[in-house]
């Protein structure tokens, strides 16, 4: 059965791969992006409904919510993939500690919080309307938070980022309890999934050495896990680590 899936941050990397995957399966994809990339034009040609939305702006989020409620009466899954990554400031940086923390919390906590609260009725309605028995209604809709390995480990150079991702995981627990039984809410906590084009060999070697499974995982690892979460009707309030066994090093 075709689903309607909202993915934040579809311009590149995991968000882009998820969007392409679901559209190839015949699902309706609604995506957000902050900056325009060539991939945005590609997704539009494939049929995605895309909204430019800077999650640092509460007004932009309110606009996105209004568009969702007005134009998309069905919603089966929300994937909070959009992310920002700022190092903690030093004396020479332009941003203050307060600005860095505020930005990390806005993107990783406040924006998902607003969207979850506003779109929950659509998710519940979809679970009830498109399933014919009470058994199939249970866990039929989904919210998935993409957190990070450092949410549990912490980070010496990205304290604000790690703290905001930990808060996002905590919201997984709260929303899982609040929206049960029709909506499952889970987290995916990746470590190193994809290298960037500018990453040099020395960086790659150093990064791979942090895991007992020293390889670049690739987007397919996340896609497969998202598919599992969506099809399961008995898993909620959990965080799934995709980190190559870093905790065992």
Question: Does the domain made of 4-243 have the CATH classification 3.30.1330.120?
Answer: no
Half-sphere exposure of 238 (CA within 13 A, CB side): 13
Give pTM, 2 decimals: 0.93
Q: What is the pLDDT of residues 45-99, one digit of tens each?
A: 999 999 999 999 999 999 999 999 999 999 999 999 999 989 888 766 778 899 9
Are 55 and 114 in contact, with CB atoms under 8 Å apart? no
The dihedral over CA atoms of 35, 27, 42, 53, expressed in degrees to the nearest 10, equals -10
Are 116 and 168 in contact, with CB atoms under 8 Å apart? no
Q: What is the pLDDT of residues 38-53, one digit of tens each?
A: 999 999 999 999 999 9
Task: Round to whole Å and give the CA distance between 25 and 2.
Answer: 8
pLDDT of residue 132: 63
pLDDT less than 50: residues of the chain: none
Residues belonging to the active site: 161
């Amino acid at each position: 059965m075709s689903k309607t899936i909202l993915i934040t941050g579809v311009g590149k990397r995991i968000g882009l791969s998820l969007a392409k995957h679901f559209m190839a399966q015949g699902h309706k994809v609604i995506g957000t992006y902050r900056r325009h990339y060539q991939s945005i034009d590609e997704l539009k040609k494939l049929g995605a409904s895309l909204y430019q939305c800077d999650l640092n702006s509460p007004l932009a989020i309110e606009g996105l919510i209004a568009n969702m409620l007005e134009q998309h009466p069905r919603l089966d899954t929300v994937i909070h993939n959009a992310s920002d990554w700022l190092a903690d400031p030093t004396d020479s940086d332009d941003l203050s500690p307060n600005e860095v923390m505020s930005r990390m919390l806005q993107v990783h906590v406040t924006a998902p919080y607003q969207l979850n609260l506003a779109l929950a009725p659509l998710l519940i309605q979809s679970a009830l309307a498109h399933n014919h028995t009470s058994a199939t209604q249970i866990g039929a809709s989904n919210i998935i938070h993409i957190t990070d390995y450092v949410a549990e480990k912490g980070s010496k150079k990205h304290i604000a980022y790690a703290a905001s991702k930990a808060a996002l995981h905590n919201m997984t627990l709260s929303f899982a309890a609040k929206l049960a039984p029709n909506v499952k809410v889970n987290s995916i906590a990746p470590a190193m999934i994809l290298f960037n084009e500018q990453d040099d060999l020395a960086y790659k070697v150093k990064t791979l050495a942090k895991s007992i499974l020293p390889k670049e995982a690739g987007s397919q690892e996340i896609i497969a896990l998202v598919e599992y979460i969506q099809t399961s009707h008995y898993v909620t309030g959990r965080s799934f680590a995709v980190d190559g066994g870093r905790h065992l090093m």
